[in-house]
A and B are shown apart, each in its own frame.
Chain A
Amino acid sequence: MATVTNPSTASTGSLTAKALREATFTAVMTFLMFVLFVGLKTDQNMRNELILVPRWGLLAIFVIIAFVGRFAMVAWLQPWRTARKAAKDAAPAQTTDAGFVKRNFSKLAILALVLYPPIILSLFGAQGSLKYIDNFGIQILIYVMLAWGLNIVVGLAGLLDLGYVAFYAVGAYSYALLSINFGFSFWILLPLAGILSAFWGIILGFPVLRLKGDYLAIVTLAFGEIIRLVLINWQDVTQGTFGISGIPKITLFGIPFDASPHGFAKIFNLPMSSAYYKVFLFYLILLLCLLTAFVTIRLRRLPIGRAWEALREDEIACRSLGINTVTTKLTAFAIGAMFGGFAGSFFAARQGFVSPESFVFLESAVILSIVVLGGMGSLTGIAIAAIAMVGGTELLREMDFLKHIFGPDFTPELYRMLIFGLAMITMMLVRPRGFVGSREPTAFLFERKNVSGSFTKEGHG
């Protein structure tokens, strides 16, 4: 017995040594990587010349964080994770019945969303709640709708589209131009914008029918950029980078939301407030979102939805079975684009102003990342991803307390997109399959089994 060394102490010792080694390596790498970009800042002096301002303290903080972080990861996090995984594998698989919340998740979520404006209104009052309804509610719901629309193209039909924002732009400019030049109301233009976007979806979809995967992604990116560049350069119609302002507001079937005698507040004898319009917009976008979800769910049961999913899984098999891939792809593009157009016209009406600035490639990337992070094809997952990504970055605007920590010059907004990018990487590394990795099959034999995400291969089409 005496000859047996204690394995646990030996491994602990070597683990600490290993962690120290790796942490030192990471710290050195961090130093080398950040010495130019963080350690030195280019700044303009009084004579408008560039000068360098050293920031060695900040650099030291970065290096120390890297060292401690790596050490903690190797020494504690990784052994803990392996131990947990081993424990999980050893334990018998438990099949727990889904709880009440889990079973009725979507119904409860819709109920919560419907109750959201009155609750917020009663908590914060008419003025205080604007921020929560507008920045959080409406903003997130627009992205939910866009992501659900893109989900039809990417998640169901498996066609990777990096230029989705083009259809959003078509919808927004259709509403802006037609309402200003011809005075049509929102309720006429909403379907019209959808039809126009769908039309553009077909036009742009037609040439790319033969392309697959990454190539398809790049061509759609090119189309998206071309539409944006045309919007910038076709100044007679779109007023270029200045954008179009003064877009009419939406009316509630002819009742405008303003201070006039026929306005909403006067008719219902309510005190004048801009909150009504926001609440109305909130319910409108909620309705549009639910429409998108409803159409998606129903379409998946139709032959065309089945064809989309078949196309995603294997295009050649699909063709061998006699599915017309041309119409299948084009309908996916058209319907996805249509919802983008709806969202676009809503966006234009809500902002009252559109400019090409709103339709940059970054927006497409954000929408696509929401779809992928949500676990493609899963509506719930996508909604959660939209709340996490958009709501999370909106939240950063609100963090005034950070100013007390980092000093008054600290502006959290600047870090919004940086954190967004880092979050995208981290989430992809942690859950490459998205939040909801498995999904229920639409077509099944006898019993409905969940398909693990690793057995479906999306993104190939």
Chain B
Amino acid sequence: MEYFIQQLINGLTLGSIYGLIAIGYTMVYGIIGMINFAHGDIFMLGGFAGLIVYLLIMTVFGGAPIAVALLCMLIVAMAATSLWNWSIERVAYRPLRGSFRLAPLITAIGVSIALSNFIQVTQGPRNKPIPQMVNSVYTIEGISISLKQIVIVIITVALLAAFWYIVEKTPLGRAQRATEQDRKMAALLGIDVDRTISITFVMGAALAAVAGTMFLMYYGVIVFTDGFVPGVKAFTAAVLGGIGSLPGAVIGGLLIGLIESLWSAYFTIAYKDVATFAILAFVLIFKPSGLLGRPEVEKV
């Protein structure tokens, strides 16, 4: 039982990270109907930005309290990654909007290849380990919860609350939802569609950057190929929750995190990625609209 609860906690932590990445996928898919293949690499980029800021603080500025350091890492990583995603959308996706459907998918794959190799070339191909940032562990009735897990869950919840507020309560969120429902009509009603889509990319990237930084903090190591597998898992989460649905993305992320950690705990760790991919295939085949998504109606 204790073992089970332990795995549950580990799964929730992992799931928070996946959920944050999944939101970026689901929002972009909802608004322009495109699978942003490069989103996993945006997440990796965020992790690297966090790493570099951490090293800057530790080596150049001579260290800082851990909370301040973490805050700086998060803010700079969010800013840098948002900038990247904004530029990528501007350069690689926007000119192809309205072109045939495969075109943005191919450029997204190109961006994904280019981004991971850009990091390989500029930062080197090796693993980048950092010392433990937060290492206190609390043990309650035989279940150990580390401080970093608590930090991850708190940051995720806070961000999701802020994010939910933006999407549900602000004019910007309204513009986003309108663009998602009908782009042409939204444009007729005076919404700057291009700007709304750009902001969507920026928001997705900011959340992915937070996920990247927390991934770095949790595992203490990052490498340039780290974008692909978490990216696909987060995409699975988005699909599982119902692509286009924001709460769905979070629930999907948590589910994928739980399934992954429980699978590794009770079955074999070797096939844990197979489990994720199999879930992805099963959901898409049997319930393509996911848990909370609206089924697509085909009009002739």
List residues of A whose CB falls within 8 A of some B CB: 29, 32-33, 36-38, 40-44, 50-52, 160, 207-208, 210-211, 213-215, 217-219, 221-223, 225-226, 229-230, 233, 316, 361-362, 365, 368-369, 372-373, 376, 414-415, 417-418, 420-425, 428-429, 432-433, 457-460
Residues of A contacting B129 in the complex (Cβ-Cβ under 8 angstroms): 50
* Cross-interface CB contact of B113 among A217, A225, A229, A365, cutoff 8 Å: A365
With the chains together, A376 CA to B80 CA distance in Å? Answer: 37
Residues of A contacting B300 in the complex (Cβ-Cβ under 8 angstroms): 316
CB distance A414 to B101 under 8 Å? no
Q: Which of B181-189, B190-198, B277-285 contacts A (4 or more CB under 8 A)?
A: B277-285
Q: Does residue B107 face the partner (Cβ distance < 8 Å to A)?
A: yes
* Cross-interface CB contact of B270 among A211, A233, A316, A417, cutoff 8 Å: A233
List residues of B whose CB falls within 8 A of some A CB: 33-35, 45, 48-49, 51-53, 55-56, 59-60, 76, 80, 83-84, 87, 91-92, 95-96, 99-103, 105-107, 109-115, 117-124, 126, 128-130, 228, 232, 235, 239, 270-271, 273-274, 277-278, 280-281, 284-285, 288, 298, 300
Besides A33-B84, A225-B277, A229-B274, 16 other A-B contacts (C-beta < 8 A): A36-B76, A42-B55, A42-B124, A207-B285, A211-B288, A222-B232, A222-B280, A229-B271, A230-B274, A233-B274, A421-B115, A425-B91, A429-B92, A433-B100, A458-B100, A459-B101
- Shortest CB-to-CB span from B283 to chain A, Å, is 9
Residues of A contacting B34 in the complex (Cβ-Cβ under 8 angstroms): 214
Mostly, the A contact residues are: helix
Residues of A contacting B281 in the complex (Cβ-Cβ under 8 angstroms): 207, 219, 222-223, 226
Residues of A contacting B119 in the complex (Cβ-Cβ under 8 angstroms): 37
Residues of B contacting A42 in the complex (Cβ-Cβ under 8 angstroms): 51-52, 55, 123-124, 128
Q: What are 8 A-B pairs at a CB distance below 8 A?
A: A40-B56, A41-B123, A52-B52, A316-B300, A376-B102, A417-B113, A422-B114, A425-B107
- Shortest CB-to-CB span from A455 to chain B, Å, is 11
Residues of A contacting B102 in the complex (Cβ-Cβ under 8 angstroms): 160, 372, 376, 458-459
* Cross-interface CB contact of A36 among B53, B59, B271, cutoff 8 Å: B53
Tell me the nearest residue of chain A to B285, going by C-beta: A207
- Shortest CB-to-CB span from B98 to chain A, Å, is 10
- Shortest CB-to-CB span from B246 to chain A, Å, is 19
Tell me the nearest residue of chain A to B273, going by C-beta: A229
Residues of B contacting A160 in the complex (Cβ-Cβ under 8 angstroms): 102, 105
CB distance A218 to B280 under 8 Å? yes
- Asked if A214 meets B59 with Cβ closer than 8 Å, knowing A222-B277, A425-B114, the reply is no
Tell me the nearest residue of chain B to A457, going by C-beta: B100
CB distance B56 to A52 under 8 Å? yes
The count of A-to-B residue pairs whose CB atoms sit within 8 angstroms is 175
* Cross-interface CB contact of B106 among A316, A372, A422, cutoff 8 Å: A372
CB distance B49 to A226 under 8 Å? no
What are the 5 closest A-B residue pairs judged by CB atoms, nearest first?
Answer: A421-B114, A424-B110, A421-B113, A418-B117, A459-B102
Tell me the nearest residue of chain A to B229, going by C-beta: A225
CB distance B80 to A432 under 8 Å? no
Tell me the nearest residue of chain A to B239, going by C-beta: A218
Scoring A160, A226, A362, A368 by chain B CB atoms within 10 A of each residue's CB, the highest score goes to: A226
- Shortest CB-to-CB span from B18 to chain A, Å, is 16
With the chains together, A362 CA to B110 CA distance in Å? Answer: 10
- Shortest CB-to-CB span from B94 to chain A, Å, is 10
Residues of B contacting A459 in the complex (Cβ-Cβ under 8 angstroms): 100-102
CB distance B49 to A418 under 8 Å? no
Tell me the nearest residue of chain B to A361, going by C-beta: B228
Residues of A contacting B280 in the complex (Cβ-Cβ under 8 angstroms): 218-219, 222
CB distance B87 to A424 under 8 Å? no
* Cross-interface CB contact of A50 among B45, B60, B120, B130, cutoff 8 Å: B130
With the chains together, A421 CA to B110 CA distance in Å? Answer: 4
Residues of B contacting A368 in the complex (Cβ-Cβ under 8 angstroms): 106, 109
CB distance B120 to A428 under 8 Å? no
- Asked if A36 meets B52 with Cβ closer than 8 Å, knowing A214-B35, A432-B99, the reply is yes
